[in-house]
Structure 1
Amino acid sequence: MLRFLVHYGIHFLVPIAIGLYFYKDKRFWAVLILLAGILIDLDHLVASPIFDSTRCSVGFHPLHSYWAIMFYIGFLFFKKTRVVGLALCIHIIADTADCLLM
């Protein structure tokens, strides 16, 4: 239960809190983009089985690879891509926490 709460808390509550607190002038769009970071889970569709509760996503799926993570971190350095990079990094942090709690 703790693993579930931590994983989905980071996936949903953290992006909403960050969007509401740090992006006051464009809250709606910031929260929407931050929540859209969950879309990188579409790479689970190319795995077999699609969902495995004992598998760590980080380093396994293409959009969760270490190369992709470096790319997401690179997004943080540019103002135009910062929110997207933050969304993707929050997603990776959630999945890393999930892996650590396995």
Structure 2
Amino acid sequence: MYGFIHISLHLVVPIALAWIFFRNDWLKAALIMLAANLVDLDHLFVQASSGPVQCAINSYPLHTMLPISLMGALLFLPWKPIRMLGVGLVAHMLIDAAGCGI
């Protein structure tokens, strides 16, 4: 059940954030933020530990603190599509971090 909720959040949250923060360009923003889910491609290159808690943070290269910090920095750049991508990436990491406590 957790996996279904987790994947659903990765789809619903970017669309909701696009609607809230980029209402005039919400469809474009939603597509860019959904594309931010491609950051999970790093899961293909690393074997994560299999345990009762599937925490992606610090388990995969693009889910470590340096890349996450750089993703957060995208929020402050002036080009709107880059900010949209930053919102999507930060939301993605927050959703993944929420899964670490379960």
Q: TM-score range by the shorter chain?
A: 0.7 to 0.9
How far did residue 95 of structure 1 move?
A: 0.5
Give 1:29's aligned amino acid.
Answer: K
Q: CA RMSD in A?
A: 2.0
Work out which structure has the larger RCO, using CA pairs closer than 8 Å and 6 or more positions apart in sequence.
1
Deviations 1:34-80 (Å, cap 9, x if unpaired)? 1111100000010126x947431101101101110110111111131
TM-score normalised to the size of structure 2? 0.84
TM-score normalised to the size of structure 1? 0.84
How far did residue 15 of structure 1 move?
A: 0.8
> How many correspondences in the alignment?
99
Mapping 1:71-86, distance limit 5 Å: 71-80=70-79, 81-86=82-87
Structure 1: gaps (5+ residues): none
- Report the Cα distance in structure 2 between the residues aligned to 1:27 and 1:20, rounded to whole angstroms: 5
How far did residue 5 of structure 1 move?
A: 5.2
Moved over 4 A (4+): none
Deviations 1:74-93 (Å, cap 9, x if unpaired)? 11111312111111001101
Give 1:15's aligned amino acid.
Answer: P
